Copies of this chain bind each other. A is one copy, B any other.
Amino acid sequence: MENFSEWFHDILENAEIIDSRYPIKGMSVWLPYGFQIRKATLKIFRDLLDREHDEVLYPLLIPEEELAKEGIHVKGFEDEVYWVTHGGQKELNEKLAIRPTSETAMYPMFSLWVRSHIDLPIKQYQVVNTFRYETKHTRPLIRVREITTFAEAHTVHSSSAEAAKQVETGIELYKEFFDELGIAYLISKRPVWDKFPGAEYTMAFDTIMPDGKTLQIATVHNLGQTFAKTFEITFENKEANHEYAYQTCYGISDRAIAAAIATHGDEKGLQLPPELSPKQITIIPIIFKDGGEEVMAKCLEIKKSLEAKGIRVQMDTRDIRPGKKFFDWELKGTPLRFELGPRDLNNNVAILGRRDSGEKIETSLDENIAEKVSDLLVEVEENLKSTAWAKQEEKIVTLDTLENASGIVDEGKVIKFYWCGDEECGRAIEEEADLDILGINEENIETDKLCPHCGKPAKHLALIAKTY
């Protein structure tokens, strides 16, 4: 696609995902079709998280006093927090923040609950809306003022090692999640100046958008004892000593859906991996003057057999040309299409159409169609995923110099380079290239390379890009 930004704007509208004409900038309405995609995404997410986390729900509003407790944290958010100051006609005694994230809503409660090491670990998550008063240009699902889908996990542990291990678990969970969405990603340890406010370190997932800019789609933070000290989360350890707890948190957002749309979409419109697609196959009976009843009867029979196999099917019986139906469902990204007309029926065949490859597969009606569709859905899923990874591969270049970094990035690339890892050097690189260091992709590698900026021995393979 030539102009991704325009394409993305149009697809949200044309495929009826989001309506961004809501009368507040940066806040949009999830339309029925978009909502179904969101629901399917969250189902995948919850199935993964439920394995070892408890889902919970905390209030939206946070007293100013709690938000202000953790200085570094509040500093990171102070320009972005929406404040509630009035209830009815009255001014409130204390301002209330609309959560920009929920550490300061949750951790005062953790402090009430945690007494002993037997109360640990705590592993909770919630799926909520959060708010950021964005001053930059907003874009639905990508940079918004109401993040409608903020899925945040928070854990509490009795040792530093266990917290570090939980960070790994968080990363593994998100890998599985994005794999199911067929989204390619780059994992890196964010530079210290770009970590989550209050975290010891931040691991992040970025995906490369069609225009070459990277989009942060998930983060996993090791919070160490910073918040535990601020919110007095202490426990009696096995030796009967009181100790501050160790914490992690990790989250994804609407951007996961934006990334799925951007990754798989094409000139024809949306393209959805079978797990995300509200319907996985559209049955289109091709009906002329004669033979309509038999075609319909056969289509209904096929529909039933597909549903019996757990496949989400729809039948498009609108009184419009088949071509228009093909167009509509290609635009909406349904992975498969099943076409049957009277002549096909006479010949005992039907056509299965793939949205991904455009392939039209003639299929005997004597075959087990449900099984064939089921197999095709797996193929489509794998194809979308491997295409995404192949595209990512093409966009990454490993360079020994950052001399023309900006120009190369402008061609849609993300650069890997050998880096010393020093903060001062890193900030200088970013400024000179007018790019962002995503972070360290491979830490403490053995190399003879030198840092292209400061000339000191390189320690890491780092990523630099233009970011959303």
Check B146–A61 contact: CB distance below 8 A.
yes
Question: Is A358 an interface position by the 8 A CB rule?
Answer: no
Interface-lining segment among A27-35, A301-309, A426-434, A450-458: A27-35
Closest to A128 in B: B129
The answer to whether A323 has its CB under 8 Å from any CB of chain B is no
Structural contact, A84 and B87, CB atoms closer than 8 A: no
Q: Which of A117-134 contact B (CB under 8 A)?
A: 124, 129, 131, 133
Whether the pair A109, B57 counts as a contact (CB closer than 8 A) is no
Q: Is A60 an interface residue (CB 8 A)?
A: yes
- B residues in contact with A55, CB < 8 Å: 32, 35-36, 39
A232 CB within 8 Å of chain B: no
Does A142 reach chain B (CB closer than 8 Å)?
Answer: no
Chain A contact-residue range equals 35 or more
- CB atoms of A129 and B87 under 8 A apart: no
On chain B, the residues within 8 Å of A372 by CB distance are none
Residue ID in chain B nearest A77 by CB atoms? B88
The quantity of this chain's copies bound in the complex is 2
A82's partner among B38, B59, B84 (CB-CB below 8 A) is B84
| Contact mask for chain A residues 1-42; partner B; CB cutoff 8 A; 1 contact, 0 none | 000000000000000000101111001111110011011000
For window 62-92 of chain A, which residues contact chain B by CB distance below 8 Å? 63, 65-66, 78-90
- Nearest Cβ in chain B — how far from A11, in angstroms? 18
Interface string of A140-171 (1 = CB under 8 A from B): 00000010100000000000000000000000
| Pairwise interchain contact A22-B109, C-beta atoms closer than 8 A | yes
Which of A23, A78, A96, A109 has the largest count of B CB atoms less than 10 A from its CB? A23
Cα–Cα, bound, A88→B80 (Å): 5
Chain A 280-307, CB within 8 Å of chain B: the 1/0 string? 0000000000000000000000000000
Considering the chains assembled together, what is the distance between the CA atoms of A59 and B87 in angstroms?
Answer: 19
Contacts of A78 in B (CB 8 A): 88-89
Report if A371 contacts B (CB, 8 A): no
- Docked-complex contact B81 and A84, CB < 8 angstroms: no
| Measured CA separation A60–B38 after assembly (Å) | 17
* A residues 250-269 in Cβ contact with B at 8 Å: none
Would you list which residues of chain A between 362 and 391 have a CB under 8 Å from chain B? none
18 residue pairs A–B, Cβ–Cβ below 8 Å? A19-B109, A21-B109, A22-B59, A22-B108, A22-B109, A57-B148, A59-B148, A60-B146, A61-B146, A78-B88, A78-B89, A82-B96, A83-B84, A83-B86, A85-B85, A88-B135, A90-B133, A98-B98
